[in-house]
Amino acid sequence: MRATDTIFALSSGAPPAAIAVMRISGSNAFCAAEALAGRVPESRRASLALLRDAAGMELDRALVLVFPGPNSATGEDLVELHLHGGRAVVRAVSAALAAFPGLRPAEAGEFTRRAFLNGRMDLNEAEGLADLLSAETEWQRRAAGAMMGGAFSRRIEQWRQEVLVLSALTEAELDFSDEGDVETQNNHKISEGCKKLHDAIRTLVEAPGVEKLRDGLRVVLGGPPNSGKSTLLNALVARDAAIVSDIAGTTRDVIEVPVSIGGMAFLFLDTAGLRDASDDRIEAIGIERTRAAMESADILLWLGEEGTGPDRPHLVEIEAKADDPAHQRKGSRAVKVSAKTEEGLAELVATLTDTAKELLPPPDQYATNARQRDLLAQCVTALAQAASAEDWLITAEHLRQSRLVLDALTGRAHTEDLLDTLFGRFCVGK
């Protein structure tokens, strides 16, 4: 793989489709367009052209768009061919391009990698783009859009500038202290500045991450056998995902059902009923899994006797089977539901979405991923050390460290491994 090759790939979805978009990027892109279309059309304007291969055989009548670098998506000369989206058309045009000297099929994420290397986007924006392409819910789309739009990167750049100012002040102190140990007001300015920055970044590190948005909030249904967990799960996800029966111990394994409610992703988990099952090995294993699932829950819907569930936040007491006169009563805090008549179901869903809004990164806040949080946490540590150091030399060094991690965050400082991992997440053509 060479970064100077001209690359091409189908950038639209799998054919057949109405239109297939083939992208070509690199120094030979315009030559390839000229060879296929007979001319290089006017920049940034859609032009209709008859495409032919090297032997003069007609391939397709297509729209051709050319974007001269460096003001293109990849930062290189870029061509888009909007073809008729049939499999044979795409295959024939791909073959004609592959036959062209200096052209080769792109690898996964290679267009975006070039955009990054050419300074068209930074790492956070590239990660936002990857998230946007895989977004399935409204909240995922909004968070990814904010990340891709560069709002987060601008905030990082602002913090980086603040660190630079603090570093400059520290350097001045260093010079000054050579000439005699005179306290200046800079002293206060530096430690206050470090603390302020430290607090701002720590708030972001502690805020909910993007993973919850992506994987869905885990809502676990727990309680004794026959309490109505599986029936309630089926009602919540509006399909018969779990087997229901009046035999206690029907559910033996954890059943996971992903759903989107109110634009947010949830993962519902039905579990084996909790009871003493020492004489049934398989049920005992199921109950172990129930306990693990309950521990991993973001929200626990508790169908057991009131107050007997684990002591944890976001436990919702459920008074199930409300339509059954003989059902187990609970206090006024409980959500009263009947999976049979659907009484109380809307209220339960509202409780879930309200809790989700507390647990998920709000649309107006940055949803950071593990890489970003890890680096931000390192920055927080470095700033705390910078603020508390007794020696200007040490403060200067910790400030330098915090700037380096902010550089790593945007990709100003990056490693090839990191790029391989990130851009490997993309599909071919992106």
Ligand X SMILES: Nc1nc2c(ncn2[C@@H]2O[C@H](COP(=O)(O)OP(=O)(O)OP(=O)(O)O)[C@@H](O)[C@H]2O)c(=O)[nH]1
Q: Which of 251, 385, 395, 410 binds Mg ion (CB under 5 A)?
A: 251
The residue behind tokens 């955009």 is 115
Site string for Mg ion, 340-379 (x = CB under 5 A): ----------------------------------------
Q: Which does 105 bind (CB under 5 to 8 A by kind): Mg ion, ligand X, none?
A: none
Q: Is 254 in the site for ligand X (CB under 6 A)?
A: no
Q: How far is CA 362 from the centre of its chain?
A: 14
Q: Which of residues 335-374 bind ligand X (CB under 6 A)?
A: 338-340
- Check the annotation: does 354 bind a ligand: no
Measured between alpha carbons, how far is 159 from 66 in angstroms, rounded to an integer? 38
CA nearest neighbour of 408 among 79, 102, 160: 160
Q: Is 226 in the site for Mg ion (CB under 5 A)?
A: no
For the CB of residue 11, give the shortest distance to ligand X in the complex, in Å: 47
Q: Which does 344 bind (CB under 5 to 8 A by kind): ligand X, Mg ion, none?
A: none
For the CB of residue 84, give the shortest distance to ligand X in the complex, in Å: 52
Token duo for residue 400: 């330098």
Q: 240-265 in b/e burial notation, b at 16+ Cβ within 10 A?
A: ebbebeeeebbbbebbebebebeebb
Q: Which does 227 bind (CB under 5 to 8 A by kind): ligand X, Mg ion, none?
A: ligand X
- Check the annotation: does 228 bind a ligand: yes
Q: Which of 68, 249, 262, 263 binds ligand X (CB under 6 A)?
A: 249
- Check the annotation: does 184 bind a ligand: no
Query: Which residues neighbour 54 within 8 Å (Cβ) at sequence distance 6 or greater?
Result: 35, 96, 99, 100
For the CB of residue 328, give the shortest distance to ligand X in the complex, in Å: 12
Q: Which of 98, 165, 248, 284 binds ligand X (CB under 6 A)?
A: 248
Q: Which stretch binds ligand X (CB under 6 A): 67-75, 111-119, 157-165, 333-341?
A: 333-341
- Of 214 and 229, which CB lies nearer to Mg ion in the complex structure? 229
Q: Which stretch binds Mg ion (CB under 5 A): 230-238, 287-295, 305-313, 419-427?
A: 230-238
**Using an 8 Å Cβ cutoff, are 94 and 26 in contact?**
no
Token duo for residue 198: 């430290």
Phi, psi for residue 213 in degrees, rounded to 5: -65, -40
Q: Which of 28, 140, 167, 251 binds ligand X (CB under 6 A)?
A: 251
Site string for ligand X, 97-136 (x = CB under 6 A): ----------------------------------------
Q: Which stretch binds Mg ion (CB under 5 A): 229-237, 257-265, 313-321, 417-425?
A: 229-237
**Using an 8 Å Cβ cutoff, are 174 and 187 in contact?**
no
CA nearest neighbour of 211 among 148, 144, 159: 144
Measured between alpha carbons, how far is 98 from 35 in angstroms, rounded to an integer? 13
Q: Which of residues 306-325 bind ligand X (CB under 6 A)?
A: 320-321, 323-324
- Of 236 and 383, which CB lies nearer to ligand X in the complex structure? 236
Q: Which of 227, 385, 401, 402 binds ligand X (CB under 6 A)?
A: 227
Binding residues for Mg(2+): 230, 251
Q: Which residues bind Mg ion (CB under 5 A)?
A: 229-230, 250-251
Binding residues for K(+): 226, 245, 247, 250
Q: Which residues bind ligand X (CB under 6 A)?
A: 225-231, 244-246, 248-251, 272-273, 320-321, 323-324, 338-340
